[in-house]
Amino acid sequence: MTDSKNKPRVGFIGLGNMGQSMAGHILQAGYPLRVYNRSRDKAEALLARGAVWCDSPGELAANADVVITIVGYPHDVEQVYLGDNGIVARARGALLIDMTTSSPELAQRIAQAATGQGCSALDAPVSGGDIGARDAKLAIMVGGAQAAFDAVLPILQLLGPNIVLQGGPGAGQHTKMCNQIVIAATIMGVCEGLAYGKAAGLDLPTVLKSIGGGAASGFQLTVMGQKIINGDFAPGFFVEHFIKDLGIALAEAGRMQLDLPALALARRLYEELAQQGHGRLGTQALFKHYEA
């Protein structure tokens, strides 16, 4: 661990599949780290390495120069930032970074509320799942002011190499919607291609050797496709969280009067998958729809 002298105090809220690894990279780099999570047991490994536990988001925010959150749903984001004794109410001149995939409109409201309290806020959702978080290879899409972005860039660089300021508040979330829309259509194509190959009696690992090196190549095919072939449906990103993201994207598309039929179909298929009890599996579990 590097020297923590003169480094800003970082508070991290949300220690799930991704947050635990992300917080660990920040701690390893020598930043004084405070953590909060609804269930304390998920913080124990970080506490053993020197992180400090806080009993509430407000307590954490009052003792941090930079606050990072990655929680579940927009209502969680709203509560942790704008609720009584939440981050905005207790932070003092801090820079707030929400890395949850959430609503662009909510990101704008948080930014406005933060400014009113003398703080700055960035929306900075990520792509790369648990593997990207573990290996510090996340893509980070940021919305907010240039000065705030520049100030926290050294911390964000601990989490991934692809960090882009997309525009003002909400722009990071809109960019993440673009990402999720592309993934939704792509993973349907991967599942359908593999289902076709299976029905045709082909050896799927051999199929993947060919099409994984051609124009169809990409993460969804080569990584998630291999997981499908292996029967590995463990979550890198939960089906239920993907449904949440697709719902946000459809709502925003509707607001912009934009018809996205592949996105609508993907949400319907994933909702059916969740209704069958598969909401806590990974997004590659969509293949189960085609198997059925």
* Active-site residue list: 176
Question: Distance between CA 141 and CA 243 in Å, rounded?
Answer: 20
Q: At what angle do helices 204-211 and 171-199 cross, to 10 degrees?
A: 130
Structure tokens at 245: 């993201």
